[in-house]
Chains A and B, each alone.
Chain A
Amino acid sequence: MGKLVIVLRLATRDVRRHVAQAVLLVVAIAAATATLTMALALNGVTSRPPYATTRTATKGPDVVASLTSAAQADKLTHAAGVAASSGPYPVGSAIIRFDGRYADVFAEGRATAPAPVDQPLVTAGTWVRPGGVVIERSFADALGVAAGDRVSLNGKSFTVAGIAVTAAQAPYPNLCNGTLMAASPAASRFSNACPASFNIPFLPLPGGQQIASSDDVGEIWTTEADATGLTSKANPLTTWVLNLKLTDPDDAPAFVYDRAAAALSQSAAPTFSNWEGIASEDALLVQDGRGVLQPGALLLALLAIASVAVLVGRRLSEYARRVGLLKAVGGTPSVVAATFLAENLVLALLAAVVGLVAGWLVSPLLTSPGAALIGTAGAPPISLSATTEVVGLAIVVALAATLVPAIRAARSSTIAALNDVARPPRRRAWVIRISGRLPVPALFGLRLAARRPRRALLSAANIAVTVTGIVAVLAFHADVDSKLSGASALTAGGLSDPVVNRDEQMLAVITVMLVGLAVLNALFTTWAMVLDARRSSALMRALGARAWQVSSGLVVAQVVSALPGAIIGIPLGIGLFKAAVKSGILPPPLLLAAAAAAAATLLAVAALTAVPAWLGTRQPVAEILQSEAA
């Protein structure tokens, strides 16, 4: 009990005395924990509330059947358990063009009268009419089209009569969960046809690309006459859609399972999706953000480790005195280590709580269902396992940065600690020999960098993580740009992608946090280095070096330490991008941009060092030498 009182008392008093440092530490760790919280919150998102709202508002079907012949509908509409149906509706494939952009679309032919099942909810304009099409809202946003605009379908001009949402289709850009046949209906999954299984032949896109399937196909509704009018001998009508309402929606998996199993042996058999499968596809838009947030959380955690290590390292001498004192009055090594760790662990736990709350509060922005659905998802619940992971991350960050100094403190000599004997700088003969041939700033800088290798390593790690993040972000942007410019045959021309838009927004926030933390780390590292080099700097000036030579030397020391980090950050960033997007294809201008980013980071480090270095040279030499001797 007594030891616990000591540990807590020292931790709280220390925090009170160094509030700014404590706040910085909490901010650094909270940035990582908040990002991880958001990533984990997306795991539990199913888009159920917005999907349910949309389903109710649009009389959403329980089962959607994609038929290869209209005659297949009769057997299904009269099947046991079917309460209502709409269709079969002919589905034509077409190329839509608007304002220089183009994409493949499914054009579903509808009656002008409302359907009893799957009646899309018009959110702007009116329902279909001859010559007037209705465009699914998420696709309309991507195409940049509004009610009243004119679009062309396979070269024919149409008016956009309205914009609508539906619960019978996954949103643009057709994120796909796929169909999975397992041993039971409950274990199986039936969702919209994935791109590879589209049975509609697509037309060659402008420029001659012939794509047999696409993951960027939009949904539009036309009149039946207009839909069939889009077909031709080269582009025949091969698909009809049938929407079914069951007496019990919970029977949908079993209903679909039985028919899909029977269809396995048939060619040209219908394919099915049920409402649960479509709902899960809607959630994919939100869950895709994990691909950005998880690597982001990892990068921020690494930077947070560097932050904590820098902050702890700055005060090692102060800690050492406390360690000596504790040992002198009877503190055992474990008590010493506990007091050393407690403060940072308590702050890490606080940062975990801050991160959890901030991540949870921000998560509704990420879980917004997008334009495809109506209603809001709200903040998802944070599970116990997510809480454990977030708290675990905070503790790992704190331990990674402080465990080694804590163990070293516990093992340190009491007398040395009491007398606050600073660890003597390393002497490296080869550095001294080589630097002797260099100009004064380089000589001074190299020797400074070599005398504190751990600090140099920390500086390199900090810059490596920063450059890794920046290169990954650049790669992502370059990848998106190359896709949007039509360089990839798999995407439609010029359309914005809601998934990419979301990812870019998240990346922008993570990048700002990364750069912010990196700047803070760089500031602390440079200040520590400048303070540590006060005596050497004063001595250099006493021996005749000019102020600019000393400041330049300090800049060289910092840049030399950061250089390996900047270099290694380039392949690490590319690796992170490849891992996050699961693609081995690199956008062409990336290497040049990555090298420029690494160089810019080094320049920033030089600029950040120049200020404290210059300020340091303004203090009189005699004053520094006397204070250091005292």
Chain B
Amino acid sequence: MNDEQALARARGLRKEYGSGEGLVRAVDAVDLDVARGETLAIMGPSGCGKSTLLHLMGGLDRPSAGELWLNDRRIDRLPERALAQLRRHDVGFVFQAFHLMDELTAQENVELPALLAGRSPREARRRAGQLLDQVGLADRAAHLPSALSGGQRQRVAIARALVNEPVLILADEPTGNLDSAATLEVLRLFETLRSTGVTLVIVTHDARIAATADRLIAMRDGAFADETGRTVGTADSLGALTGLES
């Protein structure tokens, strides 16, 4: 893949914590290219640095060294305000712990990034309704997160990630807190997104989830240990492929 094809690009990316003898390299000289429309899975044991890499790519954290590019724009040196705008317009996050606001309804949670992006309340409401319908939760729009199941909460979080039509969706252990049925729901949703050309980076330590991706990168001790290209990941075989459906 040449640089022009890559939506996201990392060169010599490092993230270090502490100093001296206590220095920890969470991400160690990583080079990465993510193509437009690609679904990339990053796997590895706990503490290998996969979540940190995701946070760096999404501008949630700053690298200690190296370069990061998104949509042909260098983002590793952006000020906080510009990073906030990047997260608002270009990136959508899906977290393992959902991170929905407990005091807001499903609809209001989805509206949140749209309102931050400057859309009118009416437009934000319309778009949130559309997305909740898309993720099958139109009838749960007025419910608080506490009244939703784990799978439903994660679908709300996905709808929230999509509301500003980002170029990149970053999912950090998106099924880590879900049972098999809910996991399948979420994977089907990702499959639908992939078919519409959305670029997805999924961090997971579940091989069944990784099996649905176009490409799989294994991480260990902050660096890439292995990379595998795949040709599967279709919705038809998803359940069987992941072993979540007989």
A261 contacts the other chain (CB 8 A):
no
B117 contacts the other chain (CB 8 A):
yes
For the complex, what is the distance from the CA of A332 to the CA of B115, rounded to whole Å?
A: 12
Instruction: Contact check, A2 vs B114: say whether CB atoms are below 8 A apart.
Output: yes
Question: Which residues of chain B have C-beta atoms less than 8 A from A330's C-beta?
Answer: 84-89, 113, 116-117, 164
**Stretch from B29-37, B42-50, B69-77, B95-103 that touches the partner:** B95-103
Instruction: Contact check, A6 vs B61: say whether CB atoms are below 8 A apart.
Output: no
For the complex, what is the distance from the CA of A275 to the CA of B80, rounded to whole Å?
A: 68
For the complex, what is the distance from the CA of A9 to the CA of B88, rounded to whole Å?
A: 19
Partner of B104, one of A13, A335, A413: A13
Instruction: Contact check, A331 vs B84: say whether CB atoms are below 8 A apart.
Output: yes
Instruction: Contact check, B116 vs A328: say whether CB atoms are below 8 A apart.
Output: no
Instruction: Contact check, B60 vs A6: say whether CB atoms are below 8 A apart.
Output: no
Instruction: Contact check, A10 vs B84: say whether CB atoms are below 8 A apart.
Output: no
Q: What's the nearest-Cβ distance from chain B to residue A629, in Å? A: 16
Question: Which residues of chain B have C-beta atoms less than 8 A from A418's C-beta?
Answer: 60, 95, 99
Instruction: Contact check, B84 vs A333: say whether CB atoms are below 8 A apart.
Output: yes
Task: Assess A329 versus B104: contact at CB under 8 Å? Given A335-B116, A415-B60.
Answer: no
B124 contacts the other chain (CB 8 A):
yes
Partner of B121, one of A2, A322, A326: A2
Task: Assess A2 versus B117: contact at CB under 8 Å? Given A14-B103, A322-B101, A415-B55.
Answer: yes
B5 contacts the other chain (CB 8 A):
no
| Additional A-B contact list (14), CB under 8 Å, known A3-B116, A6-B112 | A2-B120, A10-B104, A16-B103, A17-B103, A325-B99, A325-B101, A326-B112, A328-B60, A329-B160, A330-B87, A330-B113, A331-B84, A333-B84, A415-B60
For the complex, what is the distance from the CA of A298 to the CA of B198, rounded to whole Å?
A: 59
Partner of B119, one of A2, A9, A325, A413: A2
Question: Which residues of chain A have C-beta atoms less than 8 A from B85's C-beta?
Answer: 330, 332
For the complex, what is the distance from the CA of A563 to the CA of B119, rounded to whole Å?
A: 54
Instruction: Contact check, A415 vs B61: say whether CB atoms are below 8 A apart.
Output: yes
22 A-B residue contacts at CB 8 Å? A1-B121, A2-B114, A2-B119, A2-B124, A3-B115, A5-B121, A13-B104, A16-B103, A17-B102, A321-B99, A324-B99, A325-B99, A325-B100, A326-B116, A327-B87, A328-B99, A329-B88, A329-B112, A329-B116, A330-B84, A330-B86, A332-B81
Interface-central residue, A324, A325, A328, A418, by most chain B CB under 10 Å: A328
B118 contacts the other chain (CB 8 A):
yes
Task: Assess A414 versus B60: contact at CB under 8 Å? Given A6-B112, A9-B104.
Answer: yes
A interface vs B, CB < 8 Å? Answer: 1-3, 5-6, 9-10, 13-14, 16-17, 321-322, 324-333, 335, 413-415, 418
Question: Which residues of chain A have C-beta atoms less than 8 A from B114's C-beta?
Answer: 2
Question: Which residues of chain A have C-beta atoms less than 8 A from B117's C-beta?
Answer: 2, 330
Instruction: Contact check, A13 vs B116: say whether CB atoms are below 8 A apart.
Output: no
Question: Which residues of chain A have C-beta atoms less than 8 A from B116's C-beta?
Answer: 2-3, 6, 326, 329-331, 335
Question: Which residues of chain A have C-beta atoms less than 8 A from B120's C-beta?
Answer: 1-2
B interface vs A, CB < 8 Å? Answer: 55, 60-61, 80-81, 84-89, 93, 95, 99-104, 108, 112-121, 124, 160, 164
Question: Which residues of chain A have C-beta atoms less than 8 A from B101's C-beta?
Answer: 10, 322, 325
Partner of A9, one of B89, B95, B108, B164: B108
Instruction: Contact check, A329 vs B103: say whether CB atoms are below 8 A apart.
Output: no
For the complex, what is the distance from the CA of A509 to the CA of B109, rounded to whole Å?
A: 46
Q: What's the nearest-Cβ distance from chain A to residue B104, in Å? A: 6
Question: Which residues of chain B have C-beta atoms less than 8 A from A2's C-beta?
Answer: 114-121, 124
Q: Which residue of A lies closest to B87 (CB)?
A: A330
The majority secondary structure among interface residues of chain A is: helix
Q: What's the nearest-Cβ distance from chain B to residue A9, in Å? A: 7
Q: What's the nearest-Cβ distance from chain B to residue A559, in Å? A: 37
Q: What's the nearest-Cβ distance from chain B to residue A403, in Å? A: 19
For the complex, what is the distance from the CA of A327 to the CA of B84, rounded to whole Å?
A: 7
Q: What's the nearest-Cβ distance from chain B to residue A129, in Å? A: 78
Q: What's the nearest-Cβ distance from chain A to residue B172, in Å? A: 10
Question: Which residues of chain A have C-beta atoms less than 8 A from B81's C-beta?
Answer: 332-333
Task: Assess A329 versus B113: contact at CB under 8 Å? Given A5-B121, A9-B108, A10-B101.
Answer: yes
Question: Which residues of chain A have C-beta atoms less than 8 A from B103's C-beta?
Answer: 10, 13-14, 16-17
Q: Which residue of B lies closest to A15 (CB)?
A: B103
For the complex, what is the distance from the CA of A243 to the CA of B117, rounded to whole Å?
A: 78
Q: What's the nearest-Cβ distance from chain B to residue A43, in Å? A: 43
Q: Which residue of A lies closest to B119 (CB)?
A: A2
Q: What's the nearest-Cβ distance from chain B to residue A315, in Å? A: 12
Q: What's the nearest-Cβ distance from chain B to residue A106, in Å? A: 70
Instruction: Contact check, B93 vs A328: say whether CB atoms are below 8 A apart.
Output: yes
For the complex, what is the distance from the CA of A329 to the CA of B98, rounded to whole Å?
A: 12
For the complex, what is the distance from the CA of A413 to the CA of B61, rounded to whole Å?
A: 8
Q: What's the nearest-Cβ distance from chain B to residue A534, in Å? A: 22
Question: Which residues of chain A have C-beta atoms less than 8 A from B55's C-beta?
Answer: 414-415
Instruction: Contact check, B80 vs A332: say whether CB atoms are below 8 A apart.
Output: yes
Question: Which residues of chain A have C-beta atoms less than 8 A from B60's C-beta?
Answer: 327-328, 414-415, 418
Q: Which residue of A lies closest to B161 (CB)?
A: A329
For the complex, what is the distance from the CA of A322 to the CA of B102, rounded to whole Å?
A: 9
Question: Which residues of chain A have C-beta atoms less than 8 A from B119's C-beta?
Answer: 2
For the complex, what is the distance from the CA of A6 to the CA of B111, rounded to whole Å?
A: 9
For the complex, what is the distance from the CA of A10 to the CA of B103, rounded to whole Å?
A: 7
Question: Which residues of chain A have C-beta atoms less than 8 A from B108's C-beta?
Answer: 9
Q: Which residue of A lies closest to B108 (CB)?
A: A9
Q: What's the nearest-Cβ distance from chain B to residue A4, in Å? A: 9
Q: What's the nearest-Cβ distance from chain B to residue A571, in Å? A: 45
Question: Which residues of chain A have C-beta atoms less than 8 A from B113's C-beta?
Answer: 329-330
For the complex, what is the distance from the CA of A418 to the CA of B55, rounded to whole Å?
A: 11
For the complex, what is the distance from the CA of A329 to the CA of B81, rounded to whole Å?
A: 13
Question: Which residues of chain A have C-beta atoms less than 8 A from B102's C-beta?
Answer: 17
Interface-central residue, A3, A327, A414, A415, by most chain B CB under 10 Å: A414
Q: What's the nearest-Cβ distance from chain B to residue A570, in Å? A: 45
For the complex, what is the distance from the CA of A329 to the CA of B124, rounded to whole Å?
A: 14
Partner of B84, one of A6, A9, A332, A413: A332
For the complex, what is the distance from the CA of A120 to the CA of B124, rounded to whole Å?
A: 76
For the complex, what is the distance from the CA of A589 to the CA of B53, rounded to whole Å?
A: 70
Question: Which residues of chain B have C-beta atoms less than 8 A from A328's C-beta?
Answer: 60, 87, 93, 95, 99
Instruction: Contact check, B121 vs A329: say whether CB atoms are below 8 A apart.
Output: no
Question: Which residues of chain B have C-beta atoms less than 8 A from A327's C-beta?
Answer: 60, 84, 87
Q: Which residue of B lies closest to A325 (CB)?
A: B99
For the complex, what is the distance from the CA of A331 to the CA of B117, rounded to whole Å?
A: 9
Question: Which residues of chain B have C-beta atoms less than 8 A from A10's C-beta?
Answer: 101, 103-104
For the complex, what is the distance from the CA of A332 to the CA of B89, rounded to whole Å?
A: 13
Question: Which residues of chain A have C-beta atoms less than 8 A from B124's C-beta?
Answer: 2
Question: Which residues of chain B have C-beta atoms less than 8 A from A322's C-beta?
Answer: 101
Q: Which residue of A lies closest to B123 (CB)?
A: A2
Q: Which residue of A lies closest to B60 (CB)?
A: A414
Q: Which residue of A lies closest to B124 (CB)?
A: A2
Interface-central residue, B55, B84, B93, B119, by most chain A CB under 10 Å: B84
Question: Which residues of chain A have C-beta atoms less than 8 A from B112's C-beta?
Answer: 6, 326, 329
For the complex, what is the distance from the CA of A414 to the CA of B117, rounded to whole Å?
A: 18
